[in-house]
Amino acid sequence: MKREHFVFKYFKEYASFCLYSNFDKLYIDFISRIKEVSQRPHRLFPGYTEDQINNIFRERLVFFLKSVIEDSAFSEVESIVKDWKEGKLPHINKYAVQPSDIILSFAARKNSLLALIPHFTKDFDHGLSIGKELSVFNLLLEEKIFQAYIEIQQEVIYEKNEELNKANHALQFEVIDRIETEEKLRREKDFSEAVINNSIDGIFAFNKELKITAWNKTLEKLNGLSKEAVFGKNIFELFPNYEQTEEGQAIRNVLQGIKSNFHDKRYKNHRGYYEAHFVPLLNDKNEVTGGLSIIHDITHRKIAEEKIQQRENLLKEAQEIAHMGSWEWIVRNNKMNWSDEMYHILGYENCQVEISNNSFLDHVVVEERESVKAKINEAFHNLSPFSFETRIITKTGLLRCLLVKGKVLAYYNNVPYKMMGIVWDITERRIAEDELLRKNSELEEKNEKLKKIEAELTLANNELELRVTERTKQLSLINAELNNEIGERKKMEEALKQRNEELLKINDDLDNFVYTASHDLKAPISNIEGLISTLNFELQNITGEGKVIIDLINHSLVRFKETLNDLAEIAKAQKNLEEDIALIDLHHLLDEIKLSVKDMIINCKANIIYDGCNFPQVKFSKANLKSILYNLLTNAIKYRHPDRDPVVHIHCERRDEYVLLSVSDNGLGIKSDQVGKIFTMFKRLHDHVEGSGIGLYLVKRIVDNSKGKIEVESEEGKGSTFRIYLKI
């Protein structure tokens, strides 16, 4: 990845701290780490004393920290790499420099900086962000250095090839020179292998036949395969899982002279992530002779990034729960950053709205705006923390109360570079506090009134004590009278109990009468039907008034039979409700009812919709439940609206200790002042439909006798809903 510019977000502040507050401590630790990881400084700087070498490292450390603060952090490494490639490093042969000579010094510098972080911040997440940035920066430096090294090595190869060509022309005269050249090439090959084997990245090379020609120690550890086990083997025979992947295609593309780079890839043979770079190897004729792959393991970095993301998600969730937003103002570039919850508090749905350092003040109520601005400016100039409450008008026009807290961060010379803080919506808390103050005030007033009342009660109590004695005498007389009255009440209760028993007996006799009458009258009615049928046959040709009289007799006879049947139903409903109690499948029962009124449903084009999946079975008297559903269903069809086909919805569910059976229709509906009359016996609200007016009375009686209840909801012209609550 080519990267010419790198701007630190978290590390810049820490670099200022290291440079101006703790540089000596950092420098001493840095020099000690250099000595631990590298024994080559004196060989790289021949003729230099130890103090001179230390001064070089000191100057580079100062240069690096300043370049971080000035957003030119790549300047140092670009300068070193440029001088290295151009051979301008003082007293140093550019071909003698190994990448590890530079990388190890950068690693020592990184470790010294990481070790000093606890002296700068105790915030683990902040420290982790600084370390992450520094690690990413060092990885970029390593990539740049290694790329420079490859370019120098290619230059070396090219120059050596030129030397070999010259040597071949003078081979017979330059045998000794040839031997020396071959020895030098051998040393350089050993050097290249040493560099590859000591690299922290996995490196392997392959020829045009895709056979492995180089395999370093890092790959041995990563894959568990030694150099001897893979050398000369085909890449895809060793790793068949990669042949049909992007990486496999990149390997084949390298042989066509095409470079490839991959980032954030998962290993296919084990857990973890890596970055891979594929580079073609060229000979002195610029012909592809094979390829080189550099694999950088980024598993630890990815794990760290995932942990950081998890922490950021937790922080965001915590802010949402607390209704608390955070903000920061970068002084140098006058940039303002808000958290998502900060946007939500101010009424913005889109968290990407462009903001400035005046965006918050624009929401503060006008009468408090100058005061808030003055408090923030005072804190900024005095480098002091601040905390205040203010009211705002959100973008949606709501008045909210906020608690604003913040602090100013400054450089070592007291120059502010950042202001940061939180905004907490305390509207509900302030409302509660105001309510509490109001109630406390009311309570104090009531306490005062209570004290006055207590004083009055004390006086009244004294008067009452005087009256108690007198009242005691009076109560004795009253008590005697009450005893006499209690005796009379007991006699009345006994008489009432006897009267209730008589009423129950009369009610049973009345039910028996209704049942007997409806049963005994069936035979005479049948005889009358037979006589009327005979009369119709004898008078087939009768016309005029006689025909009308015969039709009226038939109609009256039908009405009489219906009335008798209704009386029989009432009698049945009043009998023992538990005679046929069983677990009833509502779906099957409804099918029976629909079959019995099939012609009515077809003629009226009625649509019956049943939804009983929540409570498909009910334990009840089958005959009574059938009577309830039959009457409600047929009424819904009979009293349909003339302008639309009838639609009946039947629903059943469990509701507390009841089974709720609801029947809704889109029919004529009932006037609000008539709803209370529909359960009266023989009461009919619509005369254009034939009926006895006994159906709803019968439904209510069955429901009442089973200790249930019935509700009606109706709107004239739109329809009705009957809700039957059957006791479980």
Q: What is the pTM of this model?
A: 0.31
564-565-567 Cα angle (round to 5): 65
Say if residue 103 is in the same domain as residue 152: yes
Tokens of 295: 């694999």
Say if residue 632 is in the same domain as residue 654: yes
* CATH number (domain holding residue 387): 3.30.450.20
As a whole-number percent, the residues of the chain with pLDDT over 90 amount to: 10
Say if residue 616 is in the same domain as residue 701: yes
Most confident among 93-97, 515-519, 665-669 (mean pLDDT)? 665-669
Say if residue 528 is in the same domain as residue 500: no
- Helix, strand, or coil (residue 580): coil
Say if residue 440 is in the same domain as residue 399: no
Domain count along the chain: 5
**Which residue, of 367, 396, 425, is where some domain finishes?**
425
The per-residue pLDDT for range 423-455, each reduced to its tens digit, is 988 888 878 888 888 888 888 888 888 888 888
Say if residue 603 is in the same domain as residue 554: no
Most confident among 85-89, 178-182, 707-711 (mean pLDDT)? 707-711
**Which residue, of 365, 399, 425, is where some domain finishes?**
425
Say if residue 492 is in the same domain as residue 444: yes
**Which residue, of 425, 457, 472, is where some domain finishes?**
425
The per-residue pLDDT for range 682-713, each reduced to its tens digit, is 555 555 555 566 778 888 888 888 889 999 99
Contact 345, 323 (CB under 8 A): yes
The per-residue pLDDT for range 557-592, each reduced to its tens digit, is 766 666 666 566 655 655 544 557 888 888 899 999
- Domain for residue 180, yes or no? no
pLDDT at residue 429, rounded to an integer = 81
Contact 590, 626 (CB under 8 A): no
- Domain for residue 404, yes or no? yes
Say if residue 535 is in the same domain as residue 515: no
Domain around 533:
523-573
Say if residue 604 is in the same domain as residue 509: no
Say if residue 688 is in the same domain as residue 614: yes
pLDDT for residue 4 is more than 70: no
Q: What letter does residue 242 receive in the DSSP assignment?
A: G
Tokens of 255: 């042989």
* CATH number (domain holding residue 33): 1.10.490
pLDDT at residue 607, rounded to an integer = 93
- Helix, strand, or coil (residue 211): strand
Contact 171, 178 (CB under 8 A): yes
Say if residue 103 is in the same domain as residue 154: yes
pLDDT for residue 202 is more than 70: yes
> What is the strand order of the sheet 324-330 is part of?
335-338, 324-330, 416-425, 399-410, 386-393
Q: Count the helices and strands in the chain (H runs, E runs).
A: 23, 17
d(CA 293, CA 277) in angstroms, rounded, equals 6
